[in-house]
Amino acid sequence: MKIAVNTRMLLENRMEGIARFNYEILKRIVKNNPEDQFYFYFDRPYSQKFIFGDNVTPKVLYPPTRHPILLTYWLEFKLKKELKKLKPDLLFSGDTYMPLNSGIPTVIVSHDLAYLHHDNHQRFFDRNYYKFFFKKFHNNAQKIIAVSKFTKEDIVNNYNIAPSKIEVVYNSANGHFHPVDTKTKNNTKKELTGGCPYFVYLGSIHPRKNLVNLIKGFNEFKSKNQNDYKLVIIGRPAWKTKDYFKTLKSSPFNKDIITKQITRKELPKYIGSAEAMFYVSLFEGFGIPILEGFEAGIPVVTSKISSMPEVAQDAALLVDPHSPKSIAEAMQQLLTDKNLHSSLVKKGNKRLKDFSWDLSAAKTYEILKEISGN
């Protein structure tokens, strides 16, 4: 097969959910199918680590898509022009975005329809771009890969698309995190929190991640307990962070809240040394950090809405993300109930085995073959 791939989301040091899916899936498909030819289209200079084999031909199409207008130009003029010259068997777009009416069979990956549920969480131009184009992308694609059953149902219900057009392919953990020994935990806590136990959040910082309520929940937990717990927030500020920084600054326990940006290489010891992972988003299409917490061998607390119960099942403590009180109660439970702590770790390790990048890559490749006619 001759496969064109939209790889503009593969950016060094920006490997969050959507990029992670692309990286893990493409790496395996390229390696496992050396007889196929892949054409990777980037929108800026790329890292060589994203060229997964000799059967990959990379090309940069300018300009970088930093604004919806530039993204539209890149898709509808630059990428479409390349596709007309290349005449591939299909286009694979792991970030949902695709040129419309290109004449090339296209498979897209739909990660979530968050803009429909929390449109105030997006920047003005992004929000309007989603409203105009996302339904068109889903309707124009020959096949849609959804990263959860919840996301599939969301597409069916909101876009009136036949369920048969959509296949569910899960994310997985990345093999990067792992439990750490007592010595490492003690040394990490000494370095990070002066030796105090801590809860951790891992991810980008924007309204949908619900860090305002996480901080409020931590405030309530601290105000009702004589304890030395800290809250560690690891991630880059993304967009609409004003309320987050305001809440952080005004917290009566802001000295107990530590914010860090940590390189991926260093992350395992910081996550593995935490008392629990708190990932209490208002909406997720999947939620990879849930699995990363399982992988690190720590309890996970996540939200009881959207895709998160599907991913976690009974292996995490589920809370109401709209309620700081609910979040605080989960912290209190983990503080006092050591049996709960160990039970969640065991269940998380078991649940982790239900996810596999190898299986997800194999399923994705079968979908590509089906759509290409091979």
pLDDT for residue 322 is more than 70: yes
Task: Report pLDDT digits (tens) over 224-244.
Answer: 988 999 999 999 998 889 999
Question: Which residues, including other chains, have CB under 8 Å from residue 117's CB and lie 6 or more apart?
Answer: 283, 306
d(CA 131, CA 138): 12
Nearest C-alpha neighbor of 105 from the set 92, 96, 121: 92
d(CA 39, CA 37): 7
Q: Which two tokens stand for residue 145?
A: 């890969």
Which residue, chain included where needed, has tokens 């949902």? 96
d(CA 91, CA 105): 6
Task: Report pLDDT digits (tens) over 216-229.
Answer: 999 999 999 889 99
* pLDDT for the residue numbered 374: 66
**Fold match between domain 2-172+356-372 and domain 182-352:** yes
Peptide linkage before 45 cis (omega within 30 of 0): no
* pLDDT for the residue numbered 263: 87
Task: Report pLDDT digits (tens) over 251-277.
Answer: 999 999 999 999 888 999 999 999 999
Task: Report pLDDT digits (tens) over 278-310.
Answer: 999 999 999 999 999 999 999 999 999 999 999
Provide the pLDDT confidence category of residue 123 given band limits of 50, 70 and 90: confident
The H or E element that residue 303 is part of is strand 300-303
d(CA 84, CA 42): 17
Backbone angles phi and psi of 77, in degrees to 5: -115, -55
Cα dihedral angle (247, 340, 228, 180), rounded to 10 degrees? Answer: -100
d(CA 66, CA 23): 20
Homologous superfamily in CATH for domain 2-172+356-372: Glycogen Phosphorylase B; (3.40.50.2000)
Q: Which two tokens stand for residue 108?
A: 């897209």
d(CA 214, CA 103): 47
d(CA 71, CA 64): 8
Q: Are 238 and 348 in contact (CB under 8 A)?
A: no
Provide the pLDDT confidence category of residue 119 given band limits of 50, 70 and 90: confident
Q: Which two tokens stand for residue 215?
A: 């901080």
Please name the fold of domain 182-352: Rossmann fold (3.40.50)
Segments making up each domain of the chain, as ranges:
2-172+356-372, 182-352
d(CA 312, CA 59): 39
Residue 366 CA: distances (Å) to CA of 30, 55, 66, 357: 13, 18, 32, 14
Q: Are 28 and 358 in contact (CB under 8 A)?
A: yes
Tell me the average pLDDT of the chain.
96
pLDDT for residue 365 is more than 90: yes
* pLDDT for the residue numbered 80: 97
Question: Which residues, including other chains, have CB under 8 Å from residue 182's CB and lie 6 or more apart?
Answer: none
